[in-house]
Amino acid sequence: MESEAIEKRSVPVYSLDGSIKGDVELPKVFFEEVRPDLIRRAFISSFTAKIQPKGRDPMAGKRTSAESLGVGLDLARVPRVKGGGPAAFVPNVVGGRLAFPPRPEKIFHERINEKERTLALRSAIAATAIRDLVTSRGHVIKENVHLPIVVSDEVKKLKRASEFREFLKKISLWDDVIRAKNGIKERPGKGKYRGRRWVKPKTILLVTDELNPPVRLAARNFSGLDFAEVSSLNIERLAPGGHPGRLTIWTESALKKLEEIFA
């Protein structure tokens, strides 16, 4: 799958008032072939690396003197506590052991080759420039918006949420933030009792060349909106859930730094 950006070596740069202030040449990484299979594998590798190993006490349910009394007593042949007590030890009784308990030595992490991980990251970056992939993720973008979206470095200096909101309205991206906000719903099942009550859709990813620019504080409360410093980009930010094509805003300086990293 080739990027539509191959036909256009440069894209417009949006200023704070939403007007086009000029053009910027795209780095070569945007012309990479998009590999959804590698992106998915890289995401699974990153996701499973965070799973904490868990296990049971090997003696759980076994701390008992229970033995089977054998046959001929009109009793089930399960182990029983000495003295004619209740059944114990086996999996099908109260307080018995687990048949197949979780074991801490189980390997959850699905590893991936380093070259494949790098190629997946390059592929996920290229996917941010393909309109079909961006819209297939559910993002709302108008036809007049050029992908990839590049903005001037003035955006990094915004300090208030109202200023950042007005900027998104001027470049026709505010509708996607509203979509993410309205899409918040309660998670079904027991997950809601385990610290993940709400399912929150993802919206814009803002990529800058700084770790903590002022705009990060201005927009941190917008639901589903994430930030990333260009040198620390990862597959979970660019392709949440392993699905490429996240709606991404790049600052001019971030684009230049991206070219240096993936030269």
Q: What is the pLDDT of residue 84?
A: 72
Taking only the tens place, the pLDDT of each residue in 208-254 is 999 999 999 999 999 999 999 999 999 999 999 999 999 999 999 99
Q: What is the pLDDT of residue 18?
A: 93
Extract the runs of DSSP E, i.e. beta strands, from the chain. Answer: 10-14, 20-25, 149-151, 185-186, 198-199, 205-208, 226-229, 248-251
Taking only the tens place, the pLDDT of each residue in 166-210 is 999 999 999 999 999 999 999 999 999 999 999 999 999 999 999
* Range 131-146 burial, b when 16+ CB lie within 10 A, else e: bebbeebbbbbeeeeb
Greater model confidence, 246 or 263? 246
Question: Does 74 have pLDDT greater than 90?
Answer: no
What residues contact residue 172 under an 8 Å CB cut-off, 6+ apart?
141, 142, 144, 145
pLDDT band at 75 (very low <50, low <70, confident <90, very high): confident
Taking only the tens place, the pLDDT of each residue in 81-134 is 988 789 999 999 999 999 999 999 999 999 999 999 999 999 999 999 999 999
Tokens read off for 114: 């380093």
User: What mean pLDDT comes out for the span 8-24?
Assistant: 92
Question: Does 261 have pLDDT greater than 70?
Answer: yes
Question: Does 4 have pLDDT greater than 80?
Answer: no
Q: Can you tell me the distance from the alpha carbon of 232 to that of 86, in angstroms, rounded to the nearest whole number?
A: 59
Q: Can you tell me the distance from the alpha carbon of 258 to that of 260, in angstroms, rounded to the nearest whole number?
A: 5
Taking only the tens place, the pLDDT of each residue in 129-157 is 999 999 999 999 999 999 999 999 999 99
What residues contact residue 58 under an 8 Å CB cut-off, 6+ apart?
none
pLDDT band at 9 (very low <50, low <70, confident <90, very high): confident
Q: What distance, in Å, lies between the first and last C-alpha atoms of the chain?
A: 21
* Domain ranges within the chain, ordered by starting residue: 4-51+111-261, 54-107
Question: Under CATH, what is the fold of the domain 4-51+111-261?
Answer: Ribosomal Protein L4; Chain: A; (3.40.1370)
Q: What is the pLDDT of residue 8?
A: 65
